Chain A
């Protein structure tokens, strides 16, 4: 089959690789019909994530048709399913508490050592996201093997086209959980750093959950425009000092809840960010938590901080005093996708949530390397790239 494979920094290629097979009883094989490039795929593209091997198949946002099932799968051939990027067994303590991204069992035994050293305990396996999270082949391919297929995938009714439901795999539940982690109360102002897909869905979710106001922060005009069209007020950090602006816009109080939807590769030319970037590129090794620092300083006393943005290592100069002295609450984590699939699918089916506005480009899978380059280099225009394995090369549309 054809698949998008990782070969190094800014080097992803379409390769011909062996078709996946059923390995375990609960597996299923899915023929991919739509798959997207995620912002967090850019961390792989930029080589920020360790334990990548040449030839690894990327992609953790995908859906398709069931073509083969193991004896323990509850899926049936021909069903259309969206597959969560988090692999979860459904039977461990954490799955029992709906903490699916903390699943004890889905990260293979021999792959879990590094995250145990780095994080104290291994989290769940993920599709297409380094060997630290399992080394599972991803879904930017014609086919993918889905372990524990009786727990993760959700069956999609025929009337709902791919583009409406594809983002159930990651970014829609991730934005939703980011807002849920804010424990929004009536009258709340929620500030969202980063208007990428997760940030935009977090804005949408926060408003649905009853936030009084949402303030969105970014520097790409196109993304800020999208945020505004969803009902957010906006701050372009190239033109405005973020913390002062947030204080002034909230009557000197600060936002009640803050969402860091940026994570480890924040942009901008503040002193701390430049130092972090130098350290990261020279492998002296820390994440670039510029946004997290700003979030902790900006959030109101007793406020809530939600971190859907991906961090992978250790952070320098985190204003721990602000966190403690103001009594902030922090919630974070990879998304417990399985928990949110059913309610979010229902909201999509009832037109309460639209996700299609985000898609700026649709490409044949064969043009995935171009998709990565565009997504990396033209973040203003390229808000989301969806890849279609069925399309022949040159069939792009937007």
Chain B
């Protein structure tokens, strides 16, 4: 297993694109002392300077504006925030997140504290894109999947599987940063349609 991960690291590509994702997840779990972990990552290019993108993200109260499943984030102090997140079946899960790394304009990492309903950690990196193209933003999420595979399956049925969710969230982040609004074809009070 170690072998698969080491070999993937020889390519100049992030581990989230490795063929053997189970091994990547296993290593991520081991590094955190968890039983299990799920890893998802995604990069998007945003036509804005990275300092501006970092600043928007650094204020966690902004996250519910583009993260669909986050109900609210309250900031307790410079490092600690409280997250309330929608879960399948109308439930919510909550945790306190603590910033573990903070390099302005470059990178931000956080981790849930020990009382979290779902243990999770996030890393967001901001790099310059090629000249004139803004910034590349990479988000990596590692979480302890609720109820193992079955929990993940249920979550997927509800479209809240973190990989799908973070893909949508990053698209919305890009829309908000580039255009000032989030594209939608739904009327605000429209009844959901099949």
Is B21 in the interface zone, CB < 8 Å from A?
no
Chain B interface bracket (under 10, 10 to 19, 20 to 34, 35 or more): 20 to 34
A231 is an interface residue with CB less than 8 A from chain B: no
Q: How far is the CA of A108 from the CA of B181 in the complex (A)?
A: 11
- Distance, CA A106 to CA B188, complexed state (A): 17
Q: When the two chains form the complex, which single residue of A96, A106, A137 contacts B47, counting CB atoms closer than 8 Å?
A: A96
* A18 to B190 alpha-carbon distance, docked (Å): 9
In the assembled complex, the CB of B16 is this many whole angstroms from the nearest CB of chain A, namely: 16
B2: Cβ under 8 A from any A Cβ = no
Pick the most buried of B172, B179, B193: most chain A CB atoms within 10 A of its CB: B179
Residue B184 at the chain A interface, CB threshold 8 Å: yes
In the bound complex, residues from chain B placing their C-beta under 8 Å from that of A113 are: 164, 167
B30 cross-chain contacts in A, Cβ below 8 A:
none
Partner of A108, one of B164, B167, B178, B183: B183
Comparing A6-14, A23-31, A282-290, A362-370, the segment that makes contact with chain B is A23-31
Quick check: is B4 within 8 A (CB to CB) of the other chain?
A: no
Assess whether A136 is interfacial by the CB under 8 Å rule: yes
Query: Which A54-110 residues have C-beta < 8 A from chain B?
Result: 54-55, 72, 89-93, 96, 104-110
* Residues of chain B with a CB closer than 8 A to A137's CB: 185
Instruction: Write the chain B residue with the least CB distance to A21.
Output: B187
- B175 touches A (CB below 8 Å): yes
Chain A residues with CB below 8 A from B193, complex form: 53, 55
Q: Judging by beta carbons under 8 Å apart, are A110 and B178 in contact?
A: no
**Interface pair B183/A147, CB less than 8 Å apart:** yes
A143 at the interface (CB under 8 A from B): no
Given contacts A18-B187, A134-B185, contact A109 B178 (CB under 8 A): no
Interface pair A92/B178, CB less than 8 Å apart: yes
Does A371 belong to the interface (CB within 8 Å)? Answer: no
A93 and B47 within 8 A (CB):
yes
Closest chain A CB from B51 CB (angstroms): 18
Cβ of A139 to closest chain B Cβ, rounded Å: 13
Q: Which residue of A lies closest to B190 (CB)?
A: A18
Q: How large is the interface on A (under 10, 10 to 19, 20 to 34, 35 or more residues)?
A: 20 to 34
The CA-CA distance from A90 to B134 in the complex, in Å, is 15
Q: Is the CB of A107 within 8 A of B187?
A: no
* B50 CB–A CB distance under 8 Å: no
Residue of A nearest to B194 (CB): A53
Let me know if B20 is at the binding interface, CB within 8 A: no
Report if A20 contacts B (CB, 8 A).
yes
Closest chain B residue to A106 by CB distance?
A: B183
Beta-carbon contacts of A123-135 to B below 8 Å, as 1s and 0s?
A: 0010000000011
The 0/1 profile, CB within 8 Å of A marked 1, for residues 116-157 of chain B is 000000000000000001100000000000000000000000
* A47, B181: Cα distance in complex, Å: 33
B185 touching A108, Cβ below 8 Å? yes
Any A CB within 8 A of the CB of B45: yes
Are B175 and A109 in contact, with the CB atoms below 8 A?
yes
Q: Which of B18-63 contact A (CB under 8 A)?
A: 45, 47
Task: Give per-residue flags for B165-181: 1 if the beta carbon is below 8 A from chain A beta carbons, else 0.
Answer: 00111011011001111
Are A110's CB and B182's CB within 8 A? no
A105-B185 contact, Cβ under 8 Å, with A53-B193, A93-B133, A96-B47:
no
Kindly list chain B residues whose C-beta atoms are within 8 Å of the C-beta of A125.
Answer: 183, 185
| Whole-angstrom CA separation of A110 from B193 in the bound complex | 14
Report how far A137 CA is from B182 CA in the complex, Å.
Answer: 17
Compute how far the CA of A106 lies from the CA of B133 in the bound complex, rounded to whole angstroms: 18
Once the chains bind, are B184 and A108 in contact (CB under 8 Å)?
yes
Q: Which partner residue on chain B sits nearest A145 by CB separation?
A: B187
- Are the CB atoms of B185 and A109 closer together than 8 Å? no
B47 touches A92 (CB 8 A): yes
A residues 109-153 touching B (CB-CB < 8 Å):
109-113, 125, 134-137, 147-148
B139 to chain A, nearest CB (A): 14
State whether A111 touches B47 (Cβ < 8 A).
no
Take A96-B47, A110-B168, A113-B164 as given contacts and tell me if A104 and B184 are in contact as well, using a CB distance cutoff of 8 Å.
no
Q: Looking at the assembled complex, report how far the CB atom of B33 sits from the nearest CB atom of chain A, in whole angstroms.
A: 34
Q: Could you say which residues of chain B place their CB within 8 Å of the CB of A25?
A: 180-181
* A105 and B174 contacting across the interface, CB-CB below 8 Å: yes
- Tell me if A89 and B179 are in contact (CB < 8 A): yes
Known contacts A25-B180, A25-B181, A109-B175; is-contact A91 B187 (Cβ 8 Å): no
Partner of A72, one of B68, B180, B188: B180
Proximity bits, A26-55, B CB within 8 Å = 1, else 0: 100000000000000000000000000111
List the A side residues contacting B179 at CB < 8 Å. Answer: 26, 89-92, 105, 148
CB <8 Å contact, B182 and A20: no
Min Cβ gap B55→A in Å is 19
Q: How far is the CA of A91 from the CA of B133 in the complex (A)?
A: 11
Minimum Cβ distance to chain A for residue B181 (Å): 4
What are the residues of chain B within 8 A of A90 when measuring CB–CB?
Answer: 179
Residues of B contacting A72 with CB < 8 Å? 180-181
Over the window 94-124 of chain B, the binary record of Cβ atoms lying under 8 Å from chain A Cβ atoms (1 yes, 0 no) is 0000000000000000000000000000000
Q: List 22 A-B contacts (CB under 8 A).
A: A18-B187, A21-B187, A23-B186, A23-B188, A24-B182, A53-B193, A89-B175, A89-B183, A92-B47, A93-B134, A104-B178, A108-B182, A108-B183, A109-B169, A109-B172, A109-B182, A110-B159, A110-B168, A111-B185, A113-B167, A125-B185, A137-B185
Q: A109-B182, A110-B168, A125-B185 are in contact. List 4 more A-B contacts (CB 8 A).
A: A72-B181, A89-B183, A92-B179, A110-B159
